[in-house]
Amino acid sequence: MSGFPILDLVLGLIFIYFMLSIICSTAVEIVQSLGKYRARHLEEWLRKVFDQPAMDADGNFYDHAGNTFSHDRFGNLVDKIGRLHNGSKMVILAEAIMDHSSTTGLSLKRKSSTYIDARNFVTALLDNISLDPPGTQPKDPVTNPHNVPATVDDYIAKLNNTKVLSAELKRTFISYAYAVKDNTPVGTQPIELFRKKIEEWYDSSNERLTGRFKRTFALPWTIVFAIVITLAGNIDSVAISKYLYVNKDVSKKLADDAAGSLAKSEKMLNNVTDTVDVKLLSKQVENLNQVLSLGFPIGWKSNSSDDVTIKSLKPHFIGWLATIFAIMMGAPFWFDMLNKVANLRGNGTKPASSSAPVPDPVKSTPK
């Protein structure tokens, strides 16, 4: 026990906000999973960046119907938007990357998975840009009949000759190749450094994509669920604070429960990204009900709709707004606060912070 009732009140309130944020984050994740919004964002970026026609394993261009076209015929068959004159669409590099054995997972054909690892992405990309047109003679037909690049110079030659990348991407990747070729530390493989450069480029692009996803999808849905949770449960932060201030025994019990369940709280936080489903959401609602089964001023007590008027609801507006903004801060924020205040209160040592990527729709998802 801290001996400071105000710390009990603060810790209890933080614990409630943490539980509410977990419920909100889980609800947002369920919507995201059902709609496959992260996969859509990643696919949109891939199609925008890698929009040139791809080649098959034999070095020919091909369309969605499976027809192949030689390099000589290709220019006469395709219009400015990559559609064949017979109405079929060409397979573009983005689709070839998504369908590659390193990246496809269980996603549908020419569709992106929710997440593509940087190393697997680079494998798929370099494999597609290394394909030679029909008739190209390998430099070493015996040991390397498929003419797979073995050095950085080989990749530079492939990049200069490839037709599946835009001129801008060609310059970018060639500059990476020359950078590692001329500045490779002793004992390091230049090709590995070259791959690492492209992986860093991909990760950087993904970070910007994640930020866009949070702004355009996660934040709006977080606001919606925060409002729904607050109003449906009549969760008034001002009323809860007053209740905890007056009922110090309840405040102490809630603070003790919060400080004593830090490991369980961390597990709940990690579960949001592990298996998001309706059962998990139901379990978290049940946990919240257990925490609040101490007579908290939460919920709608009236049995008559005639008792609910604008005048009767007006005193709750500030408390509701405080709860909504608290939920929008996200579960990771409140978990960190829970650790700090519990440590300050003196009820045990703070456990290691979670390193798992938790969807924080406001402050912090396109594999």
User: Quick one: average pLDDT of 277-285?
Assistant: 60
Spell out the domain ranges in the chain. Answer: 5-37+213-345, 38-204
- Segment 29-73, tens digit of pLDDT: 888 888 888 889 999 999 999 988 888 887 788 888 888 877 655
Distance CA 362, CA 367 (A): 20
Query: With contact defined as beta carbons under 8 Å apart, do 146 and 138 qualify?
Result: yes
Q: What is the mean pLDDT of the chain?
A: 80
pLDDT at 238 (0 to 100): 93
Helix extents (H) in the chain: 5-35, 37-49, 71-77, 93-98, 118-129, 152-161, 167-182, 190-213, 219-233, 237-246, 248-260, 262-274, 278-291, 310-313, 317-328, 331-345
The angle that helices 278-291 and 5-35 make with each other, rounded to 10 degrees, is 160
Percent of the chain with pLDDT over 70: 74
**Residue in 125, 130, 129 with CA at minimum distance from that of residue 201:** 125
| Model confidence band, residue 214 (pLDDT cutoffs 50, 70, 90) | confident
Q: Which residues of 46-60 are buried (b: 16+ CB within 10 A; e: fewer)?
A: bbebbebbbbeeeeb
Please answer whether residues 113 and 103 qualify as being in contact, where contact means their C-beta atoms are separated by less than 8 angstroms.
yes
pLDDT digits (tens, 9 = 90+) for 135-172: 565 666 655 556 778 889 989 989 998 888 999 999 99
What are the CA-CA distances from residue 113 to residues 33, 277, 298 (Å)? 11, 18, 41
Provide CB contacts within 8 A for 167, sequence distance 6+: none
pLDDT at 365: 46
For residue 212, the one-letter residue type is R
- pLDDT greater at residue 348 or residue 289: 289
Decide: 152 and 194 in contact? Cβ < 8 Å: yes
pLDDT bin (cut points 50, 70, 90) of residue 197 is: very high
- For 17-26, the pLDDT digits (tens) are 998 998 898 8
Percent of the chain residues past pLDDT 90, beyond the cut:
29
- Given the DSSP bridges, would you call strands 68-69 and 61-62 parallel, antiparallel or unpaired? antiparallel
Span 85-108, average pLDDT: 80
Sign, CA dihedral 342-345-350-353, equals positive
Provide the pLDDT for residue 150.
84
How many other β-carbons are positioned within 10 Å of the β-carbon of residue 6?
11
**Which residue shows structure tokens 């946990």?**
287
- Reply yes or no on whether the pLDDT at 75 is more than 90: no
- Is a pLDDT exceeding 50 seen at residue 367? no
Residue range 234-250: average pLDDT? 90
Q: What is the pTM assigned to this prediction? A: 0.72
Task: Give the whole-angstrom CA distance, residue 357 versus residue 272.
Answer: 10
pLDDT tens digit sequence for 331-357: 889 989 988 888 887 744 445 555 455
Q: Which residues are CB-contacts of 329 (< 8 A; sequence separation ≥ 6)?
A: 17, 21, 362, 363
Q: pLDDT-derived band of residue 109, with 50, 70 and 90 as boundaries?
A: confident
